[in-house]
Amino acid sequence: MPLVENGQIVEDRYIRVADDEAVPDRAPVIVSAKRFLAEADALTRRDGSLGVAWPNDRRVAELKPWLGHLTLVALNFPKFRDGRGYSQARLLRETYGFRGTLRATGDVLRDQFHFLVRAGFDSFEVKKPADAKVFAEVLARFSVYYQPGADGRVSALRRRLQKRADTPKTCETV
């Protein structure tokens, strides 16, 4: 599957390691949630970037103690109609302060790109290379947002308030 990061198709530098395979040293790896929770101490001590494939039916709060050791969390969308990954992403970004890569995997459609970015995703496994090419266009469509999002973009209200605060105040005496 093509991987999209920052609007570009890139080669995935992470290796997905099955539960019964040895984890290579110094290589960026993605392990299953089951394996990660069973071997978290050993995995977080190894030399190399660590990612976890997290299912949408588990609470992301379970990752909280380990987020400082993870460089990637891959959240799964088993069906495009299943929006639990959006909630997981917002929680990871806004509640738990995760600053690593959030990757959307599974049934990720081009119609969802904009919403996925607003929820905090910055990496996407897409089914078709044509979808990856549409990504940059989708992100350029909107320049002003009314709702706050987990993508770090400033909402229209915050912009107005910031502009008002930056405007010098003048006092006139009567």
Q: Can you give the pTM of this predicted structure?
A: 0.80
Going along the chain from its start, the domains and CATH numbers come out as 3-142 (3.20.20.70)
- Kindly report, residue by residue over 21-38, the tens digit of the pLDDT: 999 989 999 999 999 999
HSE-CB for 74 with a 13 A CA cutoff:
23
Instruction: Identify the pLDDT of residue 174.
Output: 47
- Segments in the chain below pLDDT 70: 136, 139-159, 169-174
Say if CB 76 and CB 86 are below 8 A apart. Answer: no
Length of the chain: 174
